[in-house]
Amino acid sequence: MVGPSAPRVERRVLRNGLEVLLVPRAASPVVSVWVWYRVGAKNEAPGTTGAAHWLEHMLFKGSRRYRVGEMDRAIVEAGGILNAFTDADFTGYFSTVPREHLAAPLDIEADRMTGATIPSDEIDRERSVVLSEREGNENHPIFRVEEEIYGLAFREHPYRWDALGSVQDIRSMDREALYSFYRRYYGPDNATLVVAGGFDLPSMVREVDRRFSGIRAKVADPRVKVVEPPQRGERRAALRGPGSTPIVRIGWRAPGVGDPRASALLLLDLHLGGENALYPTGGFRGAREHPTARLYQALVDTGLAVRAGSDWPPRIHPGLFSLFAQAAPGVKGDRLEEALLEESRRLTRTLLTPQELRRLKERLVRGASLAWEGSTRTAFRLGFFRTLGNLAWDRQILRRALTLRPTDLRDTARELFLDASRNVVRYEVDPAREGKAASGGEGTDE
């Protein structure tokens, strides 16, 4: 029942420590090349928050072999796409190109690994781009709430800041901060290269060796030693601003992906919010509609909320398990908070029926059936699982999940939903800033 469609992966480790995962698919017209670095916002310190993300931007700004803009041109002119992303635990770079152009992304990633130039004259320009990215996010109340709750729940661990960093740090950081971060954490011994798509395996092995095996190993240990002390009481924050209706997010400190309870958390998340965190299909912002999910039934079907969900983003270190909802027009935040709390308490008191649990397990497993279609998606998933744990991480979690009983989920809920480790963020719409629906007139300030 577990993972029948996971792809066959050729795994190699070069002498310099670079792990290489290759998934050849003869019929595919494309090749997707990804490099995952085990460094992210967790490796930053106060004063340099946002460095990992800003550096990610700078690594498109030239290297030994590529001048500013040439990486973009090499991929896009070949009909390909390229991008990158920074998370708390990792940073990833990828390109997907028509298969006859696979040399370009391999060349770029090899050069980017240790040869980035991070030109001084690009620093200020990119600083304002990064600030703009952050300000664009700030326009969405859900981003503000999410950023706030991590800042509330964590006081020591770097998970307390968002990967975008603080405005003050972005304004004050200089090239040296970014360059030293790069020198410290970027190298073959801290990375996984994943290539999936239409290529011939022996020749790809040669192509990878030729480009990557000469790069010297060098990086600092990216593991974070900081341990967040136990939370000893509820913490609350209130935000106000423009928006449609109140938003409530409640987060409890929760284990990381390597914890044996991860499988139970995955099932609880699926039960409450409806999203399959192992094989996600939706966007990261707001819940998709899941009429079978408990929170949807308790809050949306009853008219309290227009959306409701749960969230347990897989993290290497202990993170947060959250419940959230956005109120229906006219409903107060108090009622939302009470309804969310009631659902968390219900799981500590009552057992899921065997039928409910069976359905959850089936959904978890079925998510795997489409998880490996397409080279870009396959390469993403392999790199993601490997960076979080190991290549078979999803299958290990699935296997354990299939053995769980209703009492296991109730027990995990009792350990999770403690009053003393609860964090509550409420976003209230400022009455002075309350919007009027634009329809029916021009809706302007004229």
Residues 93-112 that bind another protein (CB under 8 A): 96, 98-100, 102
Residues numbered 235-254 forming contacts with another protein, rule: CB under 8 A: 240-245
By beta-carbon proximity to another protein, the closer residue of 240 and 335 is 240
* DSSP string for 70-85: HHHHHHHTTT-EEEEE
Taking the complex as a whole, the smallest distance from the CB of residue 246 to another protein amounts, in Å, to: 11
Under DSSP, is residue 349 helix (H, G, I), strand (E, B) or coil? helix
Taking the complex as a whole, the smallest distance from the CB of residue 318 to another protein amounts, in Å, to: 30
Question: What is the β-pairing status of strands 91-98 and 235-241?
Answer: unpaired
Interaction of residue 438 with another protein, rule CB under 8 A: yes
CA angle 345, 269, 375 (to 5 degrees): 175
By beta-carbon proximity to another protein, the closer residue of 85 and 348 is 85
Under DSSP, is residue 265 helix (H, G, I), strand (E, B) or coil? helix
Instruction: Compute how many residues bind another protein; rule: CB under 8 A.
Output: 87
Interaction of residue 216 with another protein, rule CB under 8 A: no
Answer for which of 136, 214, 229, 354 binds another protein (CB under 8 A) is: 136
By beta-carbon proximity to another protein, the closer residue of 91 and 387 is 91
Residues numbered 27-86 forming contacts with another protein, rule: CB under 8 A: 27-30, 69, 72-73, 76-82
Taking the complex as a whole, the smallest distance from the CB of residue 51 to another protein amounts, in Å, to: 18
Are 321 and 416 in contact by the 8 Å Cβ rule? The answer is yes
Taking the complex as a whole, the smallest distance from the CB of residue 414 to another protein amounts, in Å, to: 27
Interaction of residue 354 with another protein, rule CB under 8 A: no
Q: Measure the CA–CA gap between 318 and 250, rounded to whole angstroms.
A: 16
Instruction: Pick the stretch among 152-160, 172-180, 224-232, 430-438 that binds another protein (CB under 8 A).
Output: 430-438
Interaction of residue 131 with another protein, rule CB under 8 A: yes
Question: What residues have CB less than 8 Å from 96, skipping those under 6 apart?
Answer: 30, 31, 32, 33, 80, 81, 82, 197, 375, 376
Q: Measure the CA–CA gap between 361 and 238, rounded to whole angstroms.
A: 37
Neighbouring C-beta atoms of residue 323, cutoff 10 Å: 27
In Å, how far are 269, 334, 371, 382 from 1, measured between CA atoms?
Answer: 21, 43, 15, 20
Taking the complex as a whole, the smallest distance from the CB of residue 353 to another protein amounts, in Å, to: 14
By beta-carbon proximity to another protein, the closer residue of 60 and 321 is 60
Interaction of residue 138 with another protein, rule CB under 8 A: yes
Residues numbered 312-351 forming contacts with another protein, rule: CB under 8 A: 326, 328-329
Q: Measure the CA–CA gap between 104 and 97, rounded to whole angstroms.
A: 9
Instruction: Pick the stretch among 175-183, 343-351, 406-414, 427-435 that binds another protein (CB under 8 A).
Output: 427-435
Taking the complex as a whole, the smallest distance from the CB of residue 130 to another protein amounts, in Å, to: 8
CA angle 99, 104, 108 (to 5 degrees): 140
Interaction of residue 199 with another protein, rule CB under 8 A: yes
Interaction of residue 139 with another protein, rule CB under 8 A: yes
Most distant CA pair in the chain, distance: 67
Q: Measure the CA–CA gap between 322 and 309, rounded to whole angstroms.
A: 8
By beta-carbon proximity to another protein, the closer residue of 20 and 219 is 20
Taking the complex as a whole, the smallest distance from the CB of residue 168 to another protein amounts, in Å, to: 14
Interaction of residue 359 with another protein, rule CB under 8 A: yes
What is the per-residue burial (b if ≥16 Cβ within 10 Å, else e) of 189-226? bbbbbbbbbbbeeeebeebbeebbeebeebbeebebee
Answer for which of 1, 67, 120, 135 binds another protein (CB under 8 A) is: 135
By beta-carbon proximity to another protein, the closer residue of 173 and 429 is 429
**What are the start-end ranges of the H helices in 154-276?**
167-172, 175-185, 201-212, 262-273
In Å, how far are 59, 132, 143, 165, 171 from 139, measured between CA atoms?
Answer: 27, 11, 8, 16, 19
What are phi and psi for residue 436, nearest 5 degrees? -110, 140
Interaction of residue 8 with another protein, rule CB under 8 A: no
By beta-carbon proximity to another protein, the closer residue of 70 and 415 is 70
Taking the complex as a whole, the smallest distance from the CB of residue 135 to another protein amounts, in Å, to: 4
Neighbouring C-beta atoms of residue 346, cutoff 10 Å: 14
Are 121 and 56 in contact by the 8 Å Cβ rule? The answer is no
Taking the complex as a whole, the smallest distance from the CB of residue 6 to another protein amounts, in Å, to: 13
Instruction: Pick the stretch among 37-45, 85-93, 213-221, 297-305 that binds another protein (CB under 8 A).
Output: 297-305
Taking the complex as a whole, the smallest distance from the CB of residue 151 to another protein amounts, in Å, to: 17
Instruction: Pick the stretch among 132-140, 173-181, 225-233, 258-266 that binds another protein (CB under 8 A).
Output: 132-140
